[in-house]
Amino acid sequence: MTGIGWIGSLIIGALAGWIAEKIMKTDQSLLMNIVLGIVGALVLNWLLIAIIGTTLGGWIGQLVVAAAGACLLIFVARMIRSKT
């Protein structure tokens, strides 16, 4: 999350993780929401840059990217768990 800073990343990560938790109907802790939001933002930003060459900017854009990335991570985790 470029240009947002550490505290902004934590806030966006927590909100994005909470949004993803509600969308995907899971029950996570606050720490897990923050981790999911931050890692989800990193993963989806990387994918967006690799595919289209840019990403969404600003707080709202990064919140959308982080929430979508967190949903993607939850989906992948469920797929891995269901195969084992």
Residue 55 in contact with residue 65, Cβ under 8 Å?
yes
- One pLDDT digit (tens) per residue for the chain, 84 residues: 456 778 888 888 899 999 999 999 998 888 888 898 889 888 998 999 999 998 888 889 889 999 999 999 999 988 998 887
Pick the closest to residue 69 from 8, 12, 7 (CA basis). Answer: 12
- What sign has the CA pseudo-torsion 24, 61, 36, 82? positive
Q: Is the CB of residue 37 less than 8 Å from the CB of residue 70?
A: yes
Q: Structure pTM?
A: 0.86
Q: Under a CB-based contact definition with an 8 Å cutoff, are residues 42 and 72 in contact?
A: no
